[in-house]
C-alpha cells in the first residue's frame, strides 16, 4: 500500500516538473530548453529553460561556457525583440544594430585580417602567459589566423587589425571557469575569462578552446549532424551550450575536435545508435523520442570526446572556412614577432629545404606557369613579385608559411647575408608585407555579433 502511494506521488511530482509550451501545444520535461526568438547561440536570442514546471527565460550574450545567465521576464523581452524586428523589416534597423544583433547570420563575425588581439585585465595571474604563448604557436603553426597582445598590435603600427588596436579580448580571471565571446564584437573589453583552473592540469587545451570561440568557432557538439546524446542530469554547463546549431555553415562533424565537450560534460556516444533519443530542446510527448540516461552511454567509445591536446584537422578546416587565407597583415606580424616564421607544415626542415633547392632552378623559367606549385611563389625573385603578388596571396599562403619556417630554422631571422634561397623568400615576404600592411580587411563589417548566452565553465 505504501509503495503504491509512493509511486503515485512520484508520478505526480514528475508531471508537475513539466512545462507546457503554448506555441508548440505540448509539454517539455524538466531541464529541457525551448528557443523563443532568434537563432541559437547568437547575441539577443531568447530561450526558456523548464525548471520545476516553470519556464525561465534568458537572453543570449554570445558568451559560451560561462555560468547561467540571469532570468528575465519572458513577455517583456519577447515584446521588445518583436518590435526591433518589425522596425528592421520596415527599414529602420538602428535599434537592431545598437543591440549588436544580426539578421539570419551564417557564422559569427570574424576578426579583421584574422588577427585576435588580447589584453590582460589588471591583477590577472600572469601564470596564464605561457599557456597563451603556446596557444599562439598552435594557431600560428596550423592555421591562417594569429594571436597578439595589444602591445604587439601597437608596436606593429598596422592600422587594419583590431580596429586600430582599440578592440581586443580582455583576459580576466576574477570569475571561476573558462568562457569567451564568440567571434569579433568590435569593441574594447570583449569577454574572455581564464581562471587558474583552466590550466591547472598544466596543459593549454582549454585556453586553446576559448581562443577558438574568440575566432568565431561554436561548440562542435552543437553540430547539426552530431552523434552524441545529451544527458540532462549530468550537464556541466548551462543548457544553451548543448542546442544544435542547424542554421550555421559548418564542416563535417568531428568527435575529436578541441571544441567538443567530453563525457564528463553531460554528452556521450550512445550504445545503441538506432534509438531515437530526445534532444535537449525536444518534447518526448510530441515526438515519442527516448529520454536518454547515463545507462545509454557507451563509456569506452565516448573517451574520444573532449580532447584538449591541440587543434584537430577539422578544427583547422573550420578556422580556414572563416579565414580562407593568411592575410598580409599576419605575414607582417610573423616577420616582427615570430622571426619571420609563418609556416603550417608537419614536414621536416630537411625535407622542405631539399624541396626548396630543387624548385629554385625551375622557378626563374616557369613562374607564370607554376603559380600553384608549393614553392614557386617563395622562390621567384622580385621581378615576378610585382606581377604576381595578388595571386601569391590567394593561392600560396601555405607555401609562404612553409618557406618561412625553413628560413627561420636555417638562417635565423632572415638576415641579408643568408642563403640565396632564403634571401629570395625574405624579399617576397617583405614585398608582400610592405604592399599590403595598409590593406583593411572587410571583416570588420561583419562584426557586431550576435548572441550566445552561452554559459558555464568547466568543460572547455
Q: What is the DSSP string of 395-430?
A: H-HHHHHHHHHHHHHHHSTT-TTS-HHHHHHHHHHH
Please tell me whether 284 is known to bind a ligand: no
CA distance 322 to 421: 32
Q: What is the Cα 126 distance to its own chain's centre?
A: 24
Q: What is the pLDDT of residue 342?
A: 58
Question: What pLDDT, on the 0 to 100 scale, is given for residue 59?
Answer: 94
Radius of gyration of the chain (CA): 25
Q: What is the pLDDT of residue 400?
A: 41
Low-confidence ranges of the chain (pLDDT < 50): 1-14, 345-458
Distance, CA of 440 to chain centre: 22
The confidence score (pLDDT) of residue 422 equals 40
SS3 label, residue 345: coil
CB-count exposure of residue 15 (10 Å: 0-12, 13-18, 19+)? exposed
pLDDT for position 398: 41
Please give the Cα distance from 103 to 373 (Å, whole number). Answer: 41
Residue 87 makes CB contacts below 8 A (sequence gap 6+) with 93, 94, 95, 96
Sheet holding 54-59, edge to edge: 33-37, 46-51, 54-59
Question: Could you tell me where in the chain the CATH 2.10.70.10 domains are found?
Answer: 2-62+69-98
Residue 341 has a pLDDT of 64
209 carries a ligand binding annotation: yes
The pLDDT assigned to 233 comes to: 85
**CATH homologous superfamily of domain 2-62+69-98?**
Complement Module, domain 1 (2.10.70.10)
Phi then psi dihedrals of residue 50, to 5 deg: -80, 115
Place of cell 598590435: 153
Residue 98: its pLDDT value, please?
A: 82
Catalytic residues: 210
241 contacts: CB under 8 Å, gap ≥ 6:
64, 65, 219, 222, 261, 454, 455, 456
pLDDT at 102: 75
Distance separating alpha carbons of residues 302 and 268, to the nearest angstrom: 5
- Backbone phi and psi for residue 404, each to the nearest 5 degrees, phi listed first: -60, -40
Residue 250 labeled ligand binder: no
d(CA 105, CA 91): 18
Residues 147, 202: Cα–Cα separation, whole Å: 20
The phi and psi torsions of 165 (rounded to 5 degrees) equal: 70, 15
Residue-wise burial string across 16-28, b where 16 or more C-beta atoms lie within 10 A, e elsewhere? ebbbebeeeebbb
Amino acid at each position: 500500500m505504501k509503495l503504491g502511494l509512493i509511486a503515485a506521488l512520484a508520478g505526480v511530482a514528475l508531471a508537475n516538473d513539466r512545462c507546457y509550451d503554448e506555441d508548440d501545444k505540448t509539454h517539455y520535461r524538466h531541464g529541457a530548453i525551448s528557443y523563443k526568438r532568434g537563432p541559437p547561440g547568437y547575441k539577443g536570442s531568447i530561450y526558456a529553460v523548464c525548471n520545476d514546471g516553470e519556464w525561465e527565460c534568458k537572453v543570449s550574450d554570445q558568451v559560451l561556457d560561462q555560468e547561467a545567465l540571469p532570468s528575465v521576464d519572458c513577455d517583456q523581452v519577447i515584446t521588445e525583440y518583436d518590435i526591433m524586428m518589425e522596425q528592421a523589416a520596415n527599414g529602420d534597423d538602428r535599434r537592431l544594430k545598437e543591440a549588436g544583433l544580426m539578421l539570419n547570420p551564417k557564422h559569427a563575425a570574424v576578426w579583421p585580417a584574422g588577427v585576435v588581439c588580447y589584453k590582460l585585465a589588471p591583477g590577472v595571474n600572469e601564470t596564464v602567459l605561457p599557456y597563451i604563448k603556446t596557444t599562439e604557436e598552435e594557431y600560428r603553426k596550423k592555421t591562417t589566423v594569429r594571436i597578439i597582445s595589444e602591445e604587439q598590435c601597437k608596436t606593429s603600427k598596422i592600422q587594419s587589425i583590431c580596429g586600430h588596436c582599440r578592440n581586443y579580448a580582455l583576459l580576466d580571471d576574477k570569475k571561476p571557469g573558462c568562457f569567451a565571446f564568440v567571434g569579433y564584437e568590435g569593441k574594447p573589453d570583449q569577454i574572455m575569462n581564464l581562471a587558474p583552473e583552466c590550466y591547472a592540469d598544466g596543459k593549454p587545451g582549454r585556453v586553446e578552446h576559448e581562443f577558438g570561440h574568440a575566432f568565431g568557432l561554436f561548440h562542435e557538439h552543437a553540430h547539426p549532424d552530431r552523434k552524441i546524446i545529451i544527458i540532462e542530469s549530468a550537464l556541466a554547463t548551462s543548457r544553451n551550450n548543448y542546442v544544435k546549431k542547424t542554421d550555421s555553415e559548418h564542416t563535417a562533424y568531428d568527435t575529436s575536435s578541441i571544441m567538443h565537450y567530453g563525457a564528463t560534460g553531460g554528452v556521450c556516444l550512445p550504445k545503441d545508435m538506432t534509438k531515437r533519443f530526445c534532444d535537449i530542446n525536444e518534447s518526448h510527448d510530441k515526438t515519442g523520442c527516448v529520454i536518454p540516461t547515463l545507462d545509454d552511454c557507451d563509456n569506452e567509445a565516448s573517451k574520444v570526446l573532449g580532447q584538449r591536446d591541440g587543434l584537430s584537422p577539422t578544427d583547422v578546416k573550420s578556422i580556414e572556412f572563416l579565414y580562407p587565407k593568411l592575410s598580409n597583415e599576419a605575414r607582417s606580424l610573423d616577420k616582427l614577432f615570430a622571426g619571420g616564421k609563418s609556416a603550417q607544415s608537419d614536414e621536416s626542415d630537411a625535407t622542405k629545404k631539399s624541396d626548396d633547392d630543387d624548385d629554385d632552378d625551375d622557378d626563374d623559367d616557369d613562374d607564370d606557369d607554376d603559380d600553384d606549385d608549393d614553392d614557386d611563389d617563395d622562390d621567384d625573385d622580385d621581378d615576378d613579385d610585382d606581377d604576381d603578388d595578388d595571386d601569391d596571396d590567394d593561392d600560396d599562403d601555405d607555401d609562404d608559411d612553409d618557406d618561412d619556417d625553413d628560413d627561420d630554422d636555417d638562417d635565423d631571422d632572415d638576415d641579408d647575408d643568408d642563403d640565396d634561397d632564403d634571401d629570395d623568400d625574405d624579399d617576397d615576404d617583405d614585398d608582400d608585407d610592405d604592399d599590403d600592411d595598409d590593406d583593411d580587411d572587410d571583416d570588420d563589417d561583419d562584426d557586431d555579433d550576435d548572441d550566445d548566452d552561452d554559459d558555464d565553465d568547466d568543460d572547455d
